[in-house]
Amino acid sequence: MSSLERSQQFWKIYIKAKPIIKSVYECSSFLIFLMSFEQAYKLKTLSVVKPWQIARLAEKSPKILKALGKVAKVL
């Protein structure tokens, strides 16, 4: 197998794996962020939730859905 063929094979695998790796990253960061709401769940009140947490949740939700959609296309 020549160097060119190995390089082409690597890039084919990389292109297929990249959306999966990116979606795993997005999902894990989203789950870690959701864990920051743990105190609100324990205390059963939303008064401990800060406005930046709600804004960040609204910002991340479309990104996670988009990432999962890309993975569905690859699989």
Q: What is the pLDDT of residues 7-55, one digit of tens each?
A: 999 999 999 898 888 888 888 888 888 888 888 888 888 788 888 888 8
Q: Alpha carbon of 60 to those of 6, 21, 25, 49, 55: distances in Å?
A: 37, 17, 12, 16, 9
Domain hosting residue 30, numbered range: 3-74
What's the pLDDT at 20? 87
Per the structure, the count of domains in the chain is: 1
- Alpha-carbon distance 19 to 14, whole Å? 9
**Phi/psi of residue 44, nearest 5 degrees:** 60, 35
What's the pLDDT at 75? 67
Read off the pLDDT band of 62 (50, 70, 90): confident
Q: Which two tokens stand for residue 54?
A: 């709600």
pLDDT at 5 over 70: yes
**Phi/psi of residue 36, nearest 5 degrees:** -70, -15
Q: Which two tokens stand for residue 25?
A: 């990253």
